[in-house]
């Protein structure tokens, strides 16, 4: 579904990604871990071109997307993104947050979009918050809404950029539960996170990125039980 | 006793007489009224022109920040020159330049509108730019990642939030603009300040006509300030809902 070939990204003189090759198949749940500043978020943000790669190729559903002529807006409609800081639109209600893009992009009629939004809100247990404003909600609720907002576009893949890092500890669980449910439904997911428990339980594959390179990748059992790269061993000994 | 009262009465009478002379006699109130009309006309038209120029310059400058597009880069340079010139020289000098050098035969009022509009646009553009940049970067990223294009992201996500940052300083800019238009009397436009000149030249009285126009300016500014306050209050309320 997503193929990345020799992806490099520099900010000024600083090379953040130093040549990443990776293929993500439909239905996979790929969890990316690594120390801060390792380039894992940048890698994720390159996938939907929020960061423009310096060189390399990114293929999505059989199309090369990082070329001048590709219609990135169209491609992004199929790639949901959830941010660390939620990034809900503060001037719109929860319902308007969710329905804005489907309505303005003419993907759904207003009534269909609202019905769809309410169904999704119900699924994450926030149906009664439809007319609230983001400010009135807790961090965990906001992040669940942000997930629903992405889901309302019926994406083929969901990208999560440290979705629980900005949350109070007691709210992490509710967001991870929604993500787990999404995984069980068969959504293709790429998740940058520090939640090792989530990686163990949900991932089909775990990647370890450090200094702009994928140093190790394996199914979670093997990844955690039998890490091969010394840097990964060192990293795991610190976080586990 | 009687004498003192009489003297006071006659002093007061003289004051009333002066008031009458400077405000009413020979239809002089019309000067104030017509002057007020011209002042408001210049202020409003210049403000509109300032908003159009300001929004355009702000969007060029913000867009030029994250692009390699050569036209935007050149546009950005031109905008910088414009900003430097109009913010770096006195308004009065600009007005004289426009009226006496660039458009000596033009309709005076429209030349003044152009001069004030271009000056105001330079300040307004910075207000717009700061207001747009103050909206968190995550907002545009969220909009773009949902598949909205740049225009829709501005239209539905960035500008509705930026307007809250923009409106109060924008209205303050127009209060300053209103007061600054007083200098157009120097290039022979019959604005509110000119009304004072005309009347005092006839009545040889400075205080009353000056006081009159000062009060009129003060009332206008007080009204505009009240509007700014009301707008700020409403914006704050919408923040807390």
In a domain, B168, yes or no: yes
Residue B10 has pLDDT above 80, yes or no: no
pLDDT tens readout for residues B64-76: 887 778 888 999 9
Interface residue of B134, B146, B155 to substitute, partner A, most A CBs within 10 Å: B146
Of the pLDDT bands very low, low, confident and very high (cuts 50, 70, 90), residue B240 is: low
How many folded domains does chain B comprise? 1
Please give the residue of chain B at the shortest CA–CA distance from A153: B146
Residue B8 has pLDDT above 70, yes or no: no
Question: What number is the average pLDDT over the span B13-23?
Answer: 77
Helix, strand, or coil (residue A29): strand
Q: Global pTM? A: 0.81
pLDDT tens readout for residues A17-72: 999 999 999 999 999 999 988 999 999 999 999 999 999 999 999 999 988 888 99
Question: What number is the average pLDDT over the span B12-27?
Answer: 77
In a domain, B6, yes or no: no
Return d(Cα B233, Cα B241) in angstroms, integer: 13
pLDDT at residue B152, as a whole number = 93
Return d(Cα A177, Cα A198) in angstroms, integer: 9
Judge: B138–A133 Cβ closer than 8 Å, yes or no: no
Domain that holds residue B132: 27-239
Q: From chain B, pick out residues whose CB is under 8 angstroms from the CB of A146.
A: 142
In a domain, B74, yes or no: yes
In a domain, B18, yes or no: no
Return d(Cα B156, Cα B177) in angstroms, integer: 30
In a domain, B99, yes or no: yes
B12 to chain A, closest Cα gap in Å: 60
**Residue numbers in chain A where pLDDT is lower than 70:** none
The CATH number linked to B33 is 1.10.3720.10
In a domain, B224, yes or no: yes
Q: Which residue from A73, A89, A90 is facing B147, i.e. has the nearest CB?
A: A73
A87 to chain B, closest Cα gap in Å: 6
A25 to chain B, closest Cα gap in Å: 21
Q: From chain A, pick out residues whose CB is under 8 angstroms from the CB of B157.
A: 89, 100
In a domain, B3, yes or no: no
pLDDT at residue B41, as a whole number = 96
Q: What is the dihedral angle through the alpha carbons of B151, B157, B160, B161, rounded to the nearest 10 degrees?
A: -130
What separation in angstroms does the CA of A105 have from each of A75, A153, B89?
Answer: 13, 10, 47
In a domain, B17, yes or no: no
Provide the ipTM: 0.92
CB-based contact, B104 to chain A, within 8 Å? no
Judge: A135–B136 Cβ closer than 8 Å, yes or no: no
Residue B9 has pLDDT above 70, yes or no: no
CA neighbor of A45 nearest in space, from B133, B137, B136 = B137
């Amino acid at each position: 579904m997503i193929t990345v070939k020799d992806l490099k990204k520099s900010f000024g003189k600083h090379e953040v990604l130093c040549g990443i090759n990776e293929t993500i198949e439909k239905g996979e749940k790929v969890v990316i871990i690594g120390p801060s500043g390792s380039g894992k978020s940048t890698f994720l943000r390159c996938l939907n071109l929020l960061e423009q790669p310096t060189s390399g190729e990114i293929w999505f559903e059989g199309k090369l997307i990082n070329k001048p002529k590709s219609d990135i807006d169209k491609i992004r409609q199929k790639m949901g993104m959830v941010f660390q800081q939620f990034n809900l639109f503060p001037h719109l209600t929860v319902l308007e947050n969710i329905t804005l893009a489907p309505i303005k992009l003419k993907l759904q009629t207003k009534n269909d979009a609202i019905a769809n939004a309410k169904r999704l809100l119900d699924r994450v247990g926030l149906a009664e918050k439809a007319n609230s404003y983001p400010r009135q909600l807790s961090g965990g609720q906001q992040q669940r809404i942000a997930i629903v907002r992405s889901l309302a576009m019926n994406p083929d893949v969901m990208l999560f950029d440290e979705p629980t890092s900005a949350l109070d500890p007691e709210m992490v669980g509710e967001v991870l539960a929604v993500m787990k449910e999404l995984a069980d439904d068969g959504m293709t997911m790429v998740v940058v996170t520090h939640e090792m428990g989530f990686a163990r339980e949900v991932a089909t594959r775990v990647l370890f990125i450090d200094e702009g390179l994928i140093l190790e990748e394996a199914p979670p059992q093997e990844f955690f039980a039998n890490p091969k790269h010394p840097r990964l061993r060192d990293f795991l000994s610190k976080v586990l | 006793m009687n004498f003192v009262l009489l003297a006071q009465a006659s002093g007061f009478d003289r004051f009333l007489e002066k008031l009458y002379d400077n405000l009413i006699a020979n239809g002089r109130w019309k000067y104030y009224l017509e002057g007020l009309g011209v002042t408001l006309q210049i202020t409003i038209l210049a403000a509109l022109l300032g908003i159009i120029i300001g929004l355009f310059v702000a969007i060029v400058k913000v867009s030029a920040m994250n692009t390699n597009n050569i036209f935007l880069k050149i546009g950005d340079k031109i905008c910088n020159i414009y900003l430097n010139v109009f913010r770096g020289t006195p308004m009065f000098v600009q007005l004289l330049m426009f009226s006496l050098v660039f458009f000596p035969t033009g309709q005076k009022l429209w030349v003044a509108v152009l001069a004030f509009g271009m000056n105001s646009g330079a300040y307004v553009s910075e207000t717009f730019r700061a207001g747009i940049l103050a909206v968190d970067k995550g907002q545009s990223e969220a909009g773009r990642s949902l598949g909205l294009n740049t225009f829709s992201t501005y239209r539905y996500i960035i500008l509705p939030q930026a307007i809250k940052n923009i409106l109060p300083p924008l209205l303050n800019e127009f209060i300053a603009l209103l007061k600054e238009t007083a200098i157009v009397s120097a290039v022979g436009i019959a604005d509110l300040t000119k009304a004072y000149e005309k009347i005092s030249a006839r009545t040889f009285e400075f205080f009353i006509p000056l006081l009159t126009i000062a009060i009129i300016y003060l009332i206008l500014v007080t009204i505009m300030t009240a509007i700014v306050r009301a707008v700020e209050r409403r914006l704050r309320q919408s923040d807390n809902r």
